[in-house]
């Protein structure tokens, strides 16, 4: 039994020696011995596979890193673009407000004797769009009921009907069911006293003046202004220009349809006028 073990051990050692001798001999003499080639090729394939696997893993890691970096950069760019758009909108809004205020100030130069006060529109209800606006001046700014309100272009657009501490409600001339009639006349034609601004045509956008004396020669383009005969509006405020003239149904007076160089939909800035400071008030 022991003899058999010695023979087996000797056989294993001798086999290892033969393999090592063959490998050494092959390496030294560059032979193409088949076992050597198989071993060498196998090692080479394994090595290339390992290197390729490592390279692929590194490549995937690099791609993921690049993707995450690109995502962050896109997010940053979107935020910067949004900020730029917001700044552009704010700039446009400020420019529009500055232009509106500039027009109002230029108009105010011609209203100096009326002691004008400038206000911004802060509220306008969709359901009463053509009837009322809310402005940011109130009791603390000495605003009073029945003060005349002008557009930034200088046209009479309505009157104050309600005053709060920091805001006021303005009834527009566009109001269909008017509660106050405004006495008017044609600028430069003193015989035109008697006319009343008391209507609005929502289809054409024209203000309507009734009861103009029939004897008055009214021409297209004539300016209609407040006469100051009532207890509400001062005299000399521009209302609009004659676009059309009709004889009233009774044939005794004339009806005037007025147009104006302003837009009731754009009343961002308005001018409040105090009656007691009016030049040449006839009351």
pLDDT tens per residue, range 33-62: 555 555 555 545 555 554 555 555 555 556
Which pLDDT score is estimated for 115? 75
Indicate the pTM of the whole model.
0.59
Asked if 235 and 212 count as a contact pair (C-beta separation under 8 A), the reply is: no
Element (DSSP H or E) covering residue 9: helix 2-29
The pLDDT assigned to 278 comes to 40
Residue 13, pLDDT score: 57
pLDDT of residue 137: 94
| DSSP state letters, 73-98 | HHHHHHHHHHHHHHHHHHHHHHHHHH
> What pLDDT sits at residue 279?
43
Contacts of 3 (CB under 8 A, 6+ apart): none
Which residues of the chain have a pLDDT value below 50?
Answer: 1-3, 30-32, 43, 50, 109, 277-283
Give the pLDDT confidence score for residue 109 in this predicted structure.
Answer: 47
> According to the model, what pLDDT value does residue 254 have?
95
Contact 182, 232 (CB under 8 A): yes
Q: Which residue has the tokens 């056989």?
A: 11
What's the pLDDT score for residue 20? 58
Set out the domains of the chain in order of their start, with CATH numbers: 111-277 (2.40.10.340)
């Amino acid at each position: 039994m022991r003899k058999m073990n010695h023979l087996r051990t000797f056989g294993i050692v001798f086999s290892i020696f033969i393999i090592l001798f063959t490998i050494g001999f092959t390496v030294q003499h560059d032979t193409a011995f088949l076992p050597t080639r198989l071993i060498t090729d196998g090692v080479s394939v394994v090595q290339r596979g390992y290197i390729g696997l490592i390279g692929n893993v590194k490549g995937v890691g690099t791609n993921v890193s690049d993707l995450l970096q690109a995502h962050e950069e896109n997010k940053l760019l979107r935020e910067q673009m949004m900020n730029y758009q917001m700044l552009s909108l704010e700039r446009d809004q400020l420019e529009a407000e500055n232009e509106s205020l500039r027009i109002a100030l230029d108009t105010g130069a011609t209203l100096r004797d009326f002691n004008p006060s400038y206000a911004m529109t802060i509220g306008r209800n969709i359901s009463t769009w053509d009837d009322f606006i809310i402005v940011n001046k109130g009791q603390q700014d000495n605003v009073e009921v029945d003060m005349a309100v002008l557009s930034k272009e200088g046209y009479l657009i309505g009157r104050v009907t309600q005053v709060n501490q920091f805001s006021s409600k303005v009834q527009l001339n566009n109001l269909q069911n008017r509660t106050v009639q405004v006495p008017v006349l044609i600028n430069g034609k003193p015989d035109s006293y008697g006319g009343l601004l008391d209507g609005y045509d929502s289809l054409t956008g024209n203000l309507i003046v009734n009861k103009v004396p029939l004897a008055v020669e009214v021409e297209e383009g004539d300016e209609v202004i407040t006469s100051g005969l009532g207890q509400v509006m001062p005299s000399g405020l521009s209302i609009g220009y004659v676009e059309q003239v009709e004889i009233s149904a009774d044939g005794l007076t004339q009806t005037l349809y007025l147009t104006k160089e302003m837009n009731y939909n754009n009343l961002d800035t308005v001018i409040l006028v105090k009656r007691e400071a009016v030049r040449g008030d006839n009351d």
